[in-house]
Amino acid sequence: MRIAIFGNIYRTVILSHIKVIFNYFNSKNVTILIDKELYDFILEYGDCKMENTEIIQNDDFVADFVLSIGGDGTFLNSAARIGRKQFPILGINTGRLGFLADVSSDNILQSLESLISKSFIVEERALIQVEILDGTELKYPFALNEVAVLKQDSSSMISINTSINGDMVHTYQADGLIVATPTGSTAYSMSVGGPLMSPQTQNFILSPVASHSLNVRPLIVPDSWTIDLEVYSRSRSFLLALDGRSKVLEQKTVLRLTKADFTAKLIKPQNQTFFDTLKNKLLWGVDKRN
């Protein structure tokens, strides 16, 4: 078995988790592929024994599973490193909420044993693909959570002409617009009032950021539809963010958003549901009076 490991190299708290992981896998017939930056981080700050290890120098690697150690940001970065290879990924949480990285430190060994015995479920999650119609290329033009267009270097709002399947729908006057997947419905989109959606729902959510209109609300559309965005800004530029990876673009640049032709594969415990996660992470539906 080959297991790749990525981690948050800015928090030494992950070192105790990594030690547990290596101690467990050293006793198994497992080859550990470890990201070069994480490997150097462990050599400098950690004291774990790294046996039967290969270094991941770039994104050209083959694994049966991937471990992401950190928060949801680390998980999203790990998913980007996996790309189209679609290796199932398990998130070990050392961050805060942890919707994607949802394995707590108390359940690490139990989760590792489930990998070895393959007693888990794999959920397939849709991604958004972004095409810049003037030909500008993005290193990784996919987002598991959301694509956001945001104002940049200005306190003034931006105008976002939004067309769906070629028909002009609305011009958002706002600080920005988020187009989220169901997976991303519990992330940035939720923070601006977007709805929560089951990960298996085949939709996109359009959620304006600080809209300058009281009658504009989040909009849900099928993920089989094509969304075009054209931005106008007083600063003559705007920020494009894909799961937090950002790029500054000139105004009038047209973005085309579609559903990616591949999915991300998330490893989940057999006894855990989306609603369990909502209750545990957000106290969703909890009655404080009881």
Rounded CA-CA distance 108/103 in Å is: 7
Check residue 243 and give its pLDDT.
Answer: 97
Residue 2's H or E segment, with its range, is: strand 2-7
Query: In the chain, which residues fall in CATH 2.60.200.30?
Result: 127-261
Check residue 290 and give its pLDDT.
Answer: 65
| 127-261 CATH choice from 3.30.70.270, 2.40.50.140, 2.60.200.30, 3.40.190.10 | 2.60.200.30
10-residue block means of pLDDT along the chain (290 residues)? 94 90 89 94 86 89 95 94 95 85 89 91 96 93 98 90 97 97 96 95 97 92 98 94 95 95 93 84 77
Rounded CA-CA distance 99/185 in Å is: 10
For the chain, what is the radius of gyration of the CA atoms? Answer: 20
Facing residues of 41 across strands?
Answer: none
Active-site hit among 72, 175, 223, 243 = 72
Q: Hey, what's the torsion of the CAs at 184, 246, 137, 219, to 10 degrees?
A: 40
Inter-residue contact 184 to 73 (CB < 8 Å):
no
| CATH placement of domain 2-120+269-282 | 3.40.50.10330
Check residue 120 and give its pLDDT.
Answer: 92
Active-site annotation holds for 223:
no
